[in-house]
Amino acid sequence: MSSRSPKDFVKSKLGLKTSTSKSETELENFKKESAALKKSMEENADAKGRVAEKEIHRLQEKVFALETEKEKNSYHLTEKEKEIQQLKVQLKSRSSISSLLSQLEEKTKEAERRDQLLKSLSEETDILKKQLSVATTRLSELESKANTLHLSQNMATRFTESPVVNIHAVEMQLKDALEKNQQWLVYDQQREAYVMGLRAKISELERQLEAAAHSPQQQSKRSDSEGCLQEERQNHSDHLWMMNVQKDLEAERQTVTHLSFELDEFRRKYEEAKKENVDLNNLLSSLREAEVQHMEDNRYKTGKIQKLKKENEIAREKLEEEKKRSEDLLSQVQFLSTSLLKQQKEHTRVALLEQQIQACTIDFENEKFDRQNMQHQLHRVLKELRRAREQIKRLEPMVKYLVSMPFPLSQYHEEKLKTDSPKRSNLLDESFLECPKCKTQYPTSQHRELLAHIDICENYMK
């Protein structure tokens, strides 16, 4: 456990990757500082843990800073949750998005109903226009009937050519018709006077004829003495005159009957024209009333259409505003949800950092414990080394003495040393010494090699 670094421990525990966020940079700095701390611990193993206490204090400050950051994040999380609750309350107070959508659907349905009403009004206007066209055709038919009286050919042509009834033109045409009726009345009076004159003339001729019929008898009575030839001539001339008078009388009678027939015909046509004039006046008044009513209806319909259009525009504007509000609320909800997710991620990251700090502190405690064990072991090794040096110092004069002794005695001591050395070597080989740097173990009998190794290892580490 002491051979693993905190960096490897954190990677094996969590497997986190470095990122650009603040907490991860702090974690990376903490890892670097822990690595530097370990290195400084290994370099300053003999400094009695003062540097380690400073690093522990620094780690505690880091832990405190991370705890304060955690509290800040938790405070921000509570603030965001409060904002989300307020938005939820606002959404509930506005009867939620579903009610807004239902209102939008109702507004669209109202707009459709208004469009249908506009269509029906347009259809009614078309029907009224058709009725007006039918009335104009009827009026044109009446005018064509009036045209049979030869009152006004130009009036009929202008009236039939015009697609829309012009009341002022109709009034002018009626005035013209009245003037022509007056002219026809004057003409009728003149014809009646002429007929009366002809009748007086005919009656005068009849009286003359009667007088001529009585005059031959009187002449025969008075002039019985005249001759037969003169009487015959007179009778012949009278007969011719009578024939001429009768012919003239028949001609005058025929003309009188023809004129009376024409007079009756004109009177009949005049009565018909008068009736048609009255009908036209009634029709004109009814058309005026219909046109006034139609204009009032058109005004009412146009006002109603304008009102409906304004209401439709207001409804559309309200619909757009509600859409914008709903979109803003949705964007705010999405933003808050994303921020909440980020805060949750930060919370989990802070929790992971706390776990890493705990793991680092555990690793640091383990390192501290290992370092203490190493120091105890080093002290024990040093004690053993001191004992070995003292023993070597004690044995050196004995060795010198044995070397200076004769051969049998030296042989005896060598044998004694040979018999004692396995026991001593076995005792020294049972205990092991360890290098404080690289943890390499040596038996106690090879303490010189261990000292040389420690010097080499320290020089190498430096």
User: Is residue 57 left, alpha or beta, with left meaning phi > 0 and alpha meaning psi from -120 to 50?
Assistant: alpha
Which amino acid, residue 33?
Answer: E
Using DSSP, state whether 104 is helix, strand or coil.
Answer: helix
- Residue 308 CB: number of other CB atoms within 10 A? 17
> Which pLDDT belongs to residue 228?
62
DSSP structure string for 303-319: HHHHHHHHHHHHHHHHH
Q: Where are the alpha helices (DSSP H) in 148-227?
A: 153-161, 167-222
Nearest Cα neighbor of 196 from 247, 244, 248, 263 is 263
Residue 204, Cβ density class (10 Å: 0-12 exposed, 13-18 middle, ≥19 buried) = exposed
CA distance to 24, 36, 68, 349, 357, per residue, from 19 (Å): 6, 21, 21, 12, 18
* Assessment of whether the complete model's pTM goes beyond 0.75: no
DSSP track, 11-79: HHHH-PPP-SSHHHHHHHHHHHHHHHHHHHHHHTTTSTTHHHHHHHHHHHHHHHHHHHHHHHHHHHHHH
* Mean pLDDT split into 10-residue runs, the chain, 462 residues: 45 42 63 65 57 60 69 72 70 57 66 66 62 60 59 46 52 69 68 69 66 55 56 66 68 70 73 77 80 85 84 84 84 84 87 86 85 81 80 73 53 44 52 76 77 76 59
The reported pLDDT for the residue numbered 2 is: 43
